Structure 1
Amino acid sequence: MASVNFANVSKTYDGTVSVVDNLNLDVREGEFLSMLGPSGSGKTTCLMMLAGFETATSGEIFLDGRPINRVAPQRRNIGMVFQNYALFPHMTVAENLAFPLQVRNISKADTAEKVKRALDMVELPHLGNRRPAQLSGGQQQRVAVARALVFDPKLVLMDEPLGALDKQLREQMQYEIKRIHERLGVTIVYVTHDQAEALTMSDTIAVFNFGKIQQLAKPDAVYETPSNSFVAQFIGENNVLPGTVTERDGDVCRVRIDNGDVLSALAVTKAAVGGATLLSLRPERIVVEPATEGPGQTVVGGEVVDQVYVGDHSRIQVRVFGKHEFVVKVQNASLRRTFRKGEPIRLGWQVGDCRALDEASGCGREAA
């Protein structure tokens, strides 16, 4: 296992725009940390600097307490898995796995044993004599994972490794990689733009935007308690309402939205009275036709725009507050009727499920 530390690391290619901006990040030994963000957010650049394929403009990267900025990539003892597999087409599967061992001068006997163990680990013991072109995409990706692990690295980096696979195979490989991580306990840093992938696989997620970490927390915390408006809108589906803080009372604030209505929300925002905020409400937290209106609950009226059947749930689009449209997700097992377009409807939610947020800003690791 290995620990990783980015200490005040920045990266710029033109001396003006920072692709990575003063990054401070600790990856714990044995942790599966995903760097999640849109294209251009800096996550892949961070991975490439850690691998040694890019050089930090400033700051230092540490591996097990040792500075590695000036250590050559091949001397960092880091396993790497790429999206395009990067297997040698002229070599067999076994020869591909043996290659990183041969360059490390491992004996033939030990090489054969490690190759066999790696093939068993990814459940491909019978395909050692095949060439990559004779394998499916999923099998090639398993070989790429095995090659990254065959020399027993303390740290494995994965750069969008499942991006080329179809949905069903990608989901299967997510669980395979997670299973291997749990068995070996190796530290994994994983780059992806797929929210579901990060939520499924990770111990911790670092959400990136504009070269900064917007939130660093466990998957459930990133989804359920986003720290700012970027995280709330990037992770999962979200209903948003811009507004102005009119009152603060401990953990709760009152927010006036643009049609003049005032709503209560959990005060995540740092904005004082008169400051701008963004209300965030997950579609699955909204109740259709709530039976009663009790303390700590908000109930509003709206008009049905559309209802779509999506297998296990239905999506109901509702116009509220005059012009805004909310998406509501309701499990079909509990939905007792179908709503017609233009029909009036009541929606309800708990005040604590509506969060008043700030715009995006950098932040540190949240408490476990």
Structure 2
Amino acid sequence: MANPASSEAYVRFDGVQKSYDGVNLVVKDLNVDIPRGEFLTMLGPSGSGKTTSLMMLAGFETATHGDIFLNGRSINNVAPHKRGIGMVFQNYALFPHMTVAENLAFPLQVRKMGKAEVEEKVQRALDMVELGEFGNRRPAQLSGGQQQRVAVARALVFEPDLVLMDEPLGALDKNLREQMQYEIKHIHDRLGVTVVYVTHDQSEALTMSNRIAVFEDGRIQQLAPPTELYEKPENAFVAQFIGENNKLSGKVDALADGICEVVLDSGERVKALDINTDGAGTATTLSLRPERVFLNPAEGQCQNVFSGKAEEVIYLGDHIRVRMNVCGHDDFIVKVPNSSDKKGLAEGDTIPVGWSIDDCRALDA
């Protein structure tokens, strides 16, 4: 096995597996390196293995197989409280009988810090989350968003190099949640601390992360920066899970120079990038983002042009969402910017729709 200290990885999962019953693996052969200072999000549906992976890193679960390294040292047999990791949970986990300042002081007192140093660090952590005046309040006297900020401050107060966050914004309403996403992102940018974050909310992951690991069925399906995950999904699961996506099924008919011609189930022929197919004669799923589809495309603008019928036109302010019947699919979505030339579109209209080869990806079936 390679010496983990020789690489750039600050956190390393090396061949990690987890089974609760000795038969079924919840996490299957997890290999991932996280450099110091990165904000990595583990994203996936319920039961995909993301939270179990985080809990193994925290020490609350034990790996059935493989090693977890922190700063070049295996921590498989290190107790959770000796790993020096900050944790933030969805339910805040604040002590209700303590003031906010006492909650923050607790992890410092456990580390036997002097009174003056404790007071200074507590005040600095409160100021960081803009709650400098709230030290004497009890958690029950704070709003949900304020309590969550206290939880973030408590995870950072002892200046850990690594902070783990498990669905920390799940209990907040939409506006507060979005505001907290930016706050946590800005704190990360400012402190340069390494963050491993778990969520099932894709927009949260796209907003905050340097890289995202998309989990499904105990494995990482793709690990990449947000733009790459969205623009270049490697398989059909990632394409469907990240953002909105039009899915067209068919068979690969011909292949040349990284481009394939696919015959759709409805008979039309589409040209697409050959990303993850099994070659000519095999089934494939085409992935196409709604904002990459053009209505009434100009001559020569798109290599794929078909007739589409507008089934539903929804005005959403900054853009118009059109559900169309295209190539036998009546759930084909087109998003068009809200500009003056799109005002005339109405339900029942039949118009040409088109997209380029570069925006259409042929993936696994």
User: Which bin holds the TM-score, normalised by the shorter protein?
Assistant: over 0.9
CA distance in 1 between counterparts of 2:189 and 2:343 reads: 44
Residue in structure 2 matched with residue 364 of structure 1 by the alignment: none
- Kept in 2: contact 1:20–1:42 (CA 8 A): yes
Aligned partners of 2:9 and 2:33 also within 8 Å = no
Alpha-carbon distance between aligned partners in 1 of 2:212 and 2:355, rounded to the nearest angstrom: 27
Partner of 2:246: 239
Tell me how far apart the structure 2 counterparts of residues 111 and 274 of structure 1 sit (CA, whole Å). Answer: 68
Partner amino acid for 2:198? V
1:284 to 1:33, Cα distance in 2 relative to 1, 3 A: same
Within the candidate set 305, 308, 311, 2:314 is matched to: 308
Deviations 1:304-328 (A, max 9, x none): 1110111111111110123443100
What secondary structure sits across from 1:244 in the alignment? strand
The CA deviation string for residues 309-357 of structure 1, in whole angstroms up to 9 with x for no partner, is 1111111111012344310001112543333332211111111101001
Return the letter of the residue paired with 2:273.
L
Stretches of structure 1 lacking an aligned partner (at least 5 in a row)? 360-368
Shift of 1:251: 1.7
Structure 2: runs of 5+ lacking an equivalent: 1-7
TM-score (norm 2): 0.96
Supply the AA of the counterpart residue of 1:32. Answer: F
- Mapped pair 1:204 → 2:206: no
Seq. identity, %: 65
Q: 2:283 corresponds to which residue?
A: 276
Q: What is the match of residue 331 of structure 1?
A: 337
Match in the other structure for 1:217: 224
Q: 1:44 maps to which residue?
A: 51
Letter of the 1:333 partner, please give it. S
Aligned pair partner of 2:186 in 179, 182, 192:
179
Q: Separation in 2 of the partners of 1:149 and 1:255?
A: 52
Structure 2 equivalent of residue 27 of structure 1:
34
- Number of residue equivalences: 358
Provide the secondary structure at the position in 1 that maps to 2:342: coil
Please tell me whether residue 351 in structure 1 is matched to residue 357 in structure 2: yes
Cα deviation for residue 272 of structure 1 reads 1.1
**Secondary structure at the residue paired with 1:292?**
coil
Residue number among 121, 128, 142 corresponding to 1:135 in the alignment = 142
Pair 1:319-2:299 in alignment: no
Cα RMSD for the two superposed structures: 1.3
Match of 2:122 among 106, 115, 118: 115
Equivalent in 117, 122, 126 of residue 133 of structure 2: 126
Amino acid in structure 1 at the alignment position of 2:164: L
The CA distance in 2 between the partners of 1:334 and 1:191, in whole Å, is 41
What's 1:102 paired with? 109
Q: 1:355 and 1:115 mapped to 2: Cα distance? A: 51
The whole-number CA distance in structure 1 between the counterparts of 2:277 and 2:321 is: 33
Q: Is the 8 A contact 2:211 2:223 kept in 1?
A: yes
Q: How much has 1:259 moved relative to structure 2? A: 1.6
SS in 2 for 1:3: strand
* Whole-angstrom distance in 1 between the partners of 2:227 and 2:60: 32
- Do residues 152 (structure 1) and 159 (structure 2) align? yes
Question: Matched residue of 2:60: which SS?
Answer: coil
1:72-91 → structure 2 map (5 Å cutoff):
72-91=79-98
Structure 1 residues 56-110: Cα deviation after superposition (integer angstroms, max 9, x where no partner): 1100100001000110000000000000000000000000000000111111111
1:293–1:299 Cα contact (<8 Å) kept: no
Tell me, in whole angstroms, the C-alpha distance in 1 between the residues paired with 2:159 and 2:347. Answer: 60
What displacement does 1:2 show?
8.0
Structure 1 CA distance, aligned partners of 2:284 and 2:238? 14
Partner of 1:298: 304
Which residue identity does 1:349 align to in structure 2? W
- Tell me, in whole angstroms, the C-alpha distance in 2 between the residues paired with 1:89 and 1:327: 48
Q: Report the alpha carbon displacement of residue 17 of structure 1 after superposing the two structures with TM.
A: 1.4
Confirm or deny that 1:18 pairs with 2:22: no
Residues 2, 187 of structure 1: 8 Å contact kept: no
The answer to which of 254-263 and 53-62 deviates more is 254-263
